[in-house]
Structure 1
Amino acid sequence: MAELMTPPARTANEADAAHRTDAVLARLRMLRAGRREKRRKSLAYTLYCTVLLFGIWGVPLLVAAARAGADGRLRGPVAERLLSALPTTLPAVLATVVLLLAGRAMWQGPVLLERAALSWLLPQPVLRRALLLPRFVAASVTTTAIATAVGAVAGFLLHALGAGSWWAATAAGAMTGGTAGFAGTSLATLVQRHCDTWLRRRGWIRRAAWAVVAVLWLPAVVSLARGSWAAESVAPWSGPWGWAALPLAAVAGEVPAAAGWAGVALSALVLVTVGRAGADAAARIPARVLRTQAGTALRVQASLYSLDLRQARAAVRATRPRGVRSAVRLPFPRRTWLLVPWRDATALLRAPGRPAWAAVWAAAAVALLCLDDAPTAVLLMTLPTGYLAAAQLVEPARLETDDVRRSAHLPWPARVLALRHGLVPAAGLLLLFALGAAAAAGAGLWSDRLLVLPALVPALVGAALVSAYRGVVPVHLMIGSMTPLGDTGPLAALLWQARGPLVALGCLAVVDGPVRGAETGAAGLLWPLAVGAGMAWWAGVTARKTVRGR
């Protein structure tokens, strides 16, 4: 019996492999001592700059929020609605964060090796666990630390809205954020382990995961729009995403204190389980996945350094599985001017994710305008949400800009093509806004501010077209001037990238109108149309310059 209970000794081959691994890693540590010291100094400098900037910009804002909360200036119907919706909103947010971290592992997982290790260490007879497990630990610590800090700040801000004492809200927020960060990293390692096998061949798994997140967001939206209801007692117990939200909801007084401590215990059990599974998966990641993701990470990093966001997105898109494309095909148009809208509509029907996300953002814009007694800052969020809906619908124009050969045989100049690319997005956005307004009226949430949505469509679509035709960042913008806060080149390049929505949304926001809480009048409806005309002209000019430059 004692012999059966004694674990078997390692074989000679395992002992030899462990010895070789220790020798190789010891040699590598000695050779990389200088480089490792430089990395430590760089990390220390990064942490110093982060703490300094947070102390300069973040701490005063947090102190101001705390004082405003103590004076009662942040209290009101919106704050009460937000706090009462925590039991349904927090699980949806946590599930979304974890799923985003896991989805990123399809092209860049937590376990990432540098080129030298891939070329020299990976083919050698060394134990894979000793090589990969430290990467998993480092990624887990980094992500968990960042998520903990973000959660602590969120908890402190909820305290300013009236969610218990500051130390309890901050601690609960840190625990909630840290749980999401570590669980997301561990799940991402599992995804990285299987991303090249059954996960790539079974798209229904990803669709089912996003369906669960969508189901979680439904009661959250209802709670934010209508107030407390029965789902607030069910969502926190619906799974690990709800258990992690229980401590913060308990501090806010939305669930009993015993439920908060139960959430801590259940979350700890989940973290132990997923942490062990992630560590086991890290040691079994295939070499081909490590090589592929290392190359993708380098291409994305190079694109981000040059602020070429489209190139980075193309590198990520190349790693996605190429499933069977939809064979949807609209009837061929009988008139020549309908050719471009026909192509755009066909492209959107063959990529149903774009119209679906456009519907989500359009619904968010409608919901924001339906909020009663909402502050101006909340109502102004209608503009960016509406722009995001339009940006989803102009994807065919963006694809044509990336590859100008798609339209080289068409007889129209670039300016005319750009305007015709805006017909389908404008019609689609009008339809989505009309359906949203009808749903709001049917639910008894009608607001006269919804009348401004059709007038916003030309400006939103025009801003999206300017972004679609913006092209590559000019080299001269990358060469900025040195200031005490650093080089101005990256900031200028980022402003250039976002110049379309910045100008359009800025012009729409500065004039009193329904999106600022004012009464619906002729001026509030005519000004967005004027901005839309200007954005349409700008989109044509931008398209002509971009195509001519290529």
Structure 2
Amino acid sequence: MDRTAEATAWLRARRGADRVRRFVYVAYVVLLFLLGWYGMYAIGLFHEIGHRRPLAESAGTIARALPSGLVFAALAGLFATLRDALWRGPVTLPGPDVDWLLALPVRRRPVLLPWFALSAGIWVLAALLLGFAGALLVAAADLGRIGVLTAAFLGPAVCLALLAVVGAAVVERSRKAADRLHRATPVLLLAVLLSAGQAVAAVLGHRVEVLETIELWSGPWGWAAQPVLAAAGRSAPLWPVALALLVAATAAALACAGKIVAGVPVGVLRARARASGGVLAGFLTADMRSARLSMTGGPETRGRGRVQRWAARLSPPRSPGLLVAWRDAMALLMEPRRPGLMVLLLVPAGAAAGASAETGGGTAYLAAAVAALLGYFAATHLLEPARLDGDDVRRTAWSPRPYEAMALEHALVPTLVLVVTGCLLAVPLALSDRPAAPLVVLAAAPVLVAAGLLSAYRSPVPVWMLFSGPVLGEAGPLLAMLWYAVGPIVGVAGLTVLLAAPFPVGIPQSAEPPARLAACWVLALVLFRWVRGRARARVRP
């Protein structure tokens, strides 16, 4: 028996006044932020455009960056929307609605479509704001009239947003699509990064017009850019064809949206409701680890490739002292995405470290800090087994060894992987003009791993810090973030100072690399001792 109309009418009657109050409050907050931040700068720039062209001197640079820059923005937006669908998705109902309403004899399409429409409206609003900002930027460079540019930006931006939301609904509905997106994530991320690099190269005057033409016709991300290029006076003679393709693709996607949304499994909706609640709780308590675990705790699973099947057949070592290292190595083999992300982070970290060695003063410290921070994030991708053991001390109950000793054993494999990978990446620098580059890797790797272990074995934030009265009440979330990040801050800041500080006058220059190496190792020993104390406090507070 279909009770959809009866159930929804009863819910509207029960939620009526409260829903109106919440809607008014949310609309007020959004309007306040838009007028106070976005609106203030947009109105100011619009006023400047009416009297002069404030970015006219940069017109050539902006014109060169437009084709690849627009493709990068479109690809980044599509990638972010699809990745969001892996844990939350465009159809995310509250927990009571999933547990109670969908269990009744009601048709799911009228229940789910309003939530899909809400997500679509949010993404369309974001696309409109970004599109209008892009139109103001291009108009400020005197590359076109503001009215024409606004129309050229906003229409394709809305189409891209709707396409992205429908694609996210497909990922949410189909487990096979989610698995394919998981496997394709490194390739998609690489495409986004390459398009960003191409935009930077275009700004520097190194355009590849053939590649830009291919990108502009490769898909919706390129079709959406062609009307903007035509409005900005760039060469895009077939932009009406590209716009027609974009509109047709958007219409076809919207025509299938209702069927896609109605087919989302109840189990997926229930998992997404729990994940959204966990992420919100993690953000409110400033526990990013908890929020990330809630994001990755969905029903999707990754398929096993050849490397994973081969690793599953390996026998464990006979020595009990090598079991933790063996488990860490197996974890990396079973999830090769983590070493791949580590390599992607080590490349810009090496570039920043090289820039720190070439410059001096505050620029050297800034570049060294960026290199240390990227290196820390690279190390954290290798420390997931340590974080799991730190989250639940019962995971190590199989071993008679002390908990704090096993915490330190988690440093062996990540340090070895960082050192080997970093030295391989530093070989070109060592063969050119920086023979001490491998020594920098040897100095930084133990410090970065120790800082990551400090984050893995951090204790939960005390309740009194979040709710400590009127004096610290408003600063509670900030203090909680500092509580969780104090270990990594000490490691990254200490490594920055030790690598970028000028060497004392009077000491031979040949002694500088070994001295910095020894100082970094001393810092690593101090951090490892801190890790041991934190781990001991987890089991014997």
TM-score under structure 2 length normalisation? 0.77
Question: Contact (CA 8 Å) 1:190, 1:277: kept in 2 or not?
Answer: no
In structure 2, the CA distance between the partners of 1:385 and 1:56, relative to structure 1 (3 Å rule), is farther
Which residue among 491, 514, 524 is the counterpart of 1:532? 524
Residues 512 and 293 from structure 1, CA distance in 2 versus in 1: closer, same or farther, beyond 3 angstroms?
closer
Match of 1:430 in 2: 419
Aligned to 1:352: 336
Match among 321, 326, 333 for residue 309 of structure 2: 326
CA deviation string 1:340-371 (max 9, x = no partner): 32221122112212112111211232344567
Pick from 471, 476, 485 the counterpart of residue 459 of structure 2. Answer: 471
Q: Deviations over 1:86-106 (max 9, x none)?
A: 644653553344234224334
Cα 1:299/1:212, change in 2 over 3 Å: closer
- Deviation digits for residues 493-543 of structure 1, max 9, x if unmatched? 12222223333333444677299xxx9965776665554344333323322
Q: Are residues 204 and 188 of structure 1, via their aligned partners in 2, closer, same or farther at CA, if it must alter by over 3 Å?
A: closer
Q: Which position in structure 2 is the counterpart of 1:39?
A: 22
C-alpha displacement of 1:547: 3.3
The structure 2 residue matched to 1:108, chosen from 85, 88, 101, is 88
**What does 1:10-25 align with in structure 2 at a 5 Å threshold?**
21-22=4-5, 24-25=7-8
Q: Distance in 1 between matches of 2:44 and 2:93?
A: 39
> Which among 220, 224, 240 is matched to residue 244 of structure 1?
224
**Cα contact 2:329–2:413 (8 A) shared by 1:** yes
> In structure 2, what residue type is equivalent to 1:30?
A
Task: Name the SS of the counterpart of 1:498 in structure 2.
Answer: helix
Residue aligning to 1:492: 479
**Does the CA contact (< 8 Å) of 1:149 and 1:177 recur in 2?**
no
Q: Measured at CA, do residues 537 and 27 of structure 1 come closer, stay the same or move farther in structure 2, by a change above 3 Å?
A: same
Return the alpha-carbon distance in structure 2 between the equivalents of residues 424 and 163 of structure 1. Answer: 55
Counterpart of 2:187 (choices 207, 211, 220) is: 211
Deviates more, 1:168-177 or 1:85-94: 168-177
CA distance 1:445–1:215, change in 2 (3 Å): farther
TM-fit CA distance, 1:141: 0.5
> Deviation at 1:43?
0.6
Equivalent residue number for residue 506 of structure 2? none
Q: Which runs of 5 or more residues in structure 1 are unaligned?
A: 1-12
Q: Which one-letter code corresponds to 2:20 in the other structure?
A: E
User: Cα distance, 1:389 vs. partner?
Assistant: 0.8
Q: Distance in 2 between matches of 1:424 and 1:248?
A: 50
CA separation of 1:381 and 1:172: change in aligned 2, threshold 3 A: farther
The offset of 1:398, in angstroms, is 0.9
Code of the residue aligned with 1:285 in structure 2: it is V
Partner of 1:4: none
2:536 partner letter: R
Question: 1:102 corresponds to which letter in structure 2?
Answer: L
1:455 positional shift? 2.6
CA separation of 1:509 and 1:173: change in aligned 2, threshold 3 A: farther
SS in 1 for 2:379: helix
Query: For the residues of structure 2 that align with 1:95 and 1:32, how far apart are their CA atoms?
Result: 39
Cα distance 1:32–1:89, how it changes in 2: closer, same or farther (>3 A)? same
Counterpart of 1:10?
none
Q: Is the 8 A contact 1:247 1:261 kept in 2?
A: yes
Q: What is the CA–CA distance in structure 2 between the aligned matches of 1:177 and 1:445, rounded to whole Å?
A: 47
1:275 aligns with 2:291: no
Comparing 430-439 and 213-222, the one that deviates more: 213-222
Contact between 1:186 and 1:278, CA under 8 Å: does it hold in 2?
yes
The answer as to 2:491 corresponding to 1:504 is yes
Residues 299-448 of structure 1 mapped to structure 2, 5 A cutoff: 299-315=278-294, 316-321=296-301, 323-324=303-304, 326-328=309-311, 332-333=316-317, 337-369=321-353, 380-438=369-427
Query: Does 2:281 correspond to 1:294?
Result: no
Task: State the AA in 2 paired with 1:472.
Answer: P
- Offset of 1:185 from its aligned partner? 1.5
TM-aligned CA deviation for residue 426 of structure 1: 1.4
Q: 1:391 touches 1:461 (CA, 8 Å); kept in 2? A: yes
* Aligned-pair CA distance for 1:392: 0.4
TM-superposed deviation, 1:240: 1.6
Equivalent residue for 1:233, pick from 207, 213, 233: 213
The residue identity in structure 1 corresponding to 2:21 is: K
**Partner SS, residue 184 of structure 1:** helix
Give 2:528's aligned amino acid: A
In structure 2, relative to structure 1, the CA distance for the partners of 1:285 and 1:418 (3 Å cut) is closer
For the 8 Å contact 2:183–2:302, the answer to whether it is kept is no
- Partner residue in 2 for 1:285: 264
Aligned to 1:455: 443
Percent identity over the alignment is: 31
For 1:124 and 1:422, the matched residues in 2 are separated by 52
- DSSP 3-state at the match of 1:32: helix
Structure 1 pair 125–319 and aligned structure 2 pair: CA distance change class (3 A)? closer
483 and 92 in structure 1: CA distance in 2 versus 1, 3 angstrom threshold: farther
CA distance in 1, matches of 2:138, 2:429: 29
Shift in Å at residue 465 of structure 1? Answer: 1.0
Shift in CA distance, 448/152, structure 1 to aligned 2, threshold 3 Å: farther
CA displacement, residues 402-434 of structure 1 (integer Å, 9 cap, x when unaligned): 232332344544443333211211111122222
The alignment partner of 1:466 has SS state of helix
Question: Is the alpha carbon distance of 1:461 and 1:483 closer, same or farther for their aligned partners in structure 2, counting shifts above 3 Å?
Answer: same
Question: 1:495 & 1:150 partners in 2: Cα distance?
Answer: 32
Give the match for residue 124 of structure 2: 144
* Separation (CA, whole Å) in 1 of partners of 2:258 and 2:24: 28
Q: Deviations over 1:132-163 (max 9, x none)?
A: 22221111011222344355557767889x79
In 1, the alpha carbon distance for the partners of 2:120 and 2:262 equals: 15
**Change beyond 3 A, Cα 1:228–1:193:** same
The equivalent residue for 1:5 is none
Q: Which amino acid aligns with 1:271?
A: T
Contact 1:513 1:524 in 2 (8 A): no
Shift of the 405–113 alpha-carbon distance from structure 1 to 2, 3 Å rule, reads closer
Q: Which has the higher mean CA deviation after the structures are superposed, 381-390 or 324-333?
A: 324-333
Cα distance in structure 2, aligned partners of 1:543 and 1:256: 62
Distance 2:399 2:433 in 1: 46
CA distance, structure 1, for counterparts of residue 63 and residue 351 of structure 2: 18
What whole-Å deviation, never above 9, does each CA across 1:153-184 have from its counterpart, x for those lacking one?
A: 57767889x79579588877766765543322
Taking a change above 3 Å as real, the CA distance of residues 292 and 338 of structure 1, as seen in their structure-2 partners, is closer
The answer on whether the counterparts of 1:247 and 1:259 sit within 8 Å (CA) in structure 2 is no
CA distance in 2, matches of 1:350, 1:277: 37
